[in-house]
Amino acid sequence: MTGATHMEPMLPDIDAGLGDQVLDLVAKSGSFAGGLNLPLKTSIGDLVSAMNCYYSNLIEGHDTHLADIERAMKNDYSKEPKKRDLQLEAKAHIEVQRIIDRGEMPHSAVSVDGIRWIHREFCSRLPDSLLEMEDPVTKKTVRMEPGELRKYHVVVGRHAAPEPEALDELLARFVQAYSSPMLSKTQRIVSVGAGHHRLAWIHPFMDGNGRVTRLLSHALLRELGVGSELWSVSRGLARNVDRYKVLLEAADEPRHGDRDGRGNLTEAGLANFCRFFLDTCIDQVTFMQSLLNPAELMNRVEVWTEEEIRAKRISKGSWRLLREAILVGEFPRSRAAELTGYQDRQARTVLSELIAKGVLASDTPKGPVRLGFPSTVIERWFPGLYQPRPAIADVKEAAPPAIADDSGRAAMAKELGARVARRGWSAPDNFDETIAIYADEGALAAMLTDVWKADTLKELLDLHHIDLPGMAND
């Protein structure tokens, strides 16, 4: 039977590359959101929880439209059963994440109770149709109980998950390894990626393991002080889903010889997944930080407002109310006249139009108003937030998607050059420009991860069959 030693090692060795990634993530997450007021931060957090749900479901092959998610949060469900089920699934995911973001999760993320709590909270909100599945042995329909560990053998892709009888021992080792007081802060942050793989490898539940794993990673990042309600790792994983799944599978493999750690599973594969996971976190923090820059957000909202006024879809004076919501977070309705410069009745009309459009929101009919984010304005106010890309690796989110995009390739080549320098390798003159000519986007994306496992620059280039002029043969 599978035992705890079968999923060793639990952590890869922390080399210079992993250490630098951790420092980068800590620095960037620490400087994030300083310019956002609390009400605006809360509203954006609600938007991000919906985004996290959207992308996490997309990884599972469930493409729920943003407008359908928005309607589900208002208890407005489709009459079509399948669409309604997906709406309920989306709402369940959002509600659980918001509990986590409010700090109301009753258990530590790295605990058996915490893992089962996430599954129970998520699945207990699902319709019966999504809890019913086929018994792999008897072929009869069985009902999955929320929070209960699986009782059946399962195969996921090429991975035969451990026997049900082994789950208690494996989960106990999972908790022991990733909650150990002996771990440094760097090791704890690397352990989020390592634990992400190892929990997926354990596959403790009949279904819902992917969502539970991603929610657990979100919760753990928050516990460690680097996660936030303002960004989501699921977005980056979904936008690079093929590489995500390939690296998960690669980390399932047995050890590749004596130079591949001392455990049963490949340490190199686990290290590669951790590097990818940390890169994804860094990219998403960078992307959201640029998207939520207060001055740039204000500019985008102002441009949208001017266009809506010219089209006579909203009234003059609207911008002053929206600007106030961005600057101070929320304001009492009684200030509408003062802010617009209109008489009370006209000011109330402007305010009511914006509330009806959903761009201003309030918890009560007479309560203060704050900025709202209906699906109709998301692409204008937050461009690129809901645009899944091909699996090319979000190396730098700010770079445009590249199918044959020279600027995107140049950005990837520049980042590769920086990582080569970080490894202390000697590179030919004009390496960035040269590698951008000889390597396509796919090769560059792969090398950005493989640079940490190769011993020399030549080994890295040989791995991808790239022969650079001026490159030494040693």
Q: Model-level pTM?
A: 0.80
Sign of CA dihedral 424, 425, 426, 429: negative
Architecture, CATH, for domain 22-291: Orthogonal Bundle (1.10)
pLDDT at 405: 40
pLDDT value at residue 221: 97
The packing angle between helices 38-59 and 241-250, to 10°, is 70
pLDDT of residue 387: 64
Domains of the chain, by residue range, sit at 22-291, 294-381, 406-463
| DSSP string over 424-437 | T----TTHHHHHHH
The answer to whether the CB of 314 falls within 8 A of the CB of 305 is: yes
What per-residue confidence (pLDDT) applies to 343? 95
pLDDT of res. 115: 98
Q: Which residues contact 116 (CB under 8 A, 6 or more apart)?
A: 147, 148, 149
Element (H, E) at 325: helix 318-328
The pLDDT of residue 469: 66
User: What b/e readout covers 78-98, taking b as 16+ CB neighbours within 10 angstroms?
Assistant: eeeeeebbbbbbbbbbbebbe
| pLDDT in single tens digits along all 474 residues of the chain | 888 999 999 999 999 999 999 999 999 998 886 668 889 998 999 999 999 999 998 999 888 888 899 999 999 999 999 999 999 999 999 999 999 999 999 999 999 999 999 999 999 999 999 999 887 777 888 899 999 999 988 888 888 899 999 999 999 999 999 999 999 999 999 999 999 999 999 999 999 999 999 999 999 999 999 999 999 999 999 999 999 999 999 999 999 888 898 899 999 999 999 999 999 999 999 999 999 988 899 999 999 999 999 999 999 999 999 999 999 999 999 999 999 999 999 999 999 999 999 999 999 999 999 999 998 999 899 998 886 544 333 333 333 333 234 456 777 788 888 888 877 888 887 888 888 877 777 788 788 878 878 888 988 888 887 877 666 544
Can you give the pLDDT at residue 474? 40
- Can you tell me whether residue 143 is helix, strand or coil? strand
Work out whether the CA dihedral 122, 124, 126, 132 comes out positive or negative.
positive
Structural class in CATH, domain 294-381: mainly alpha
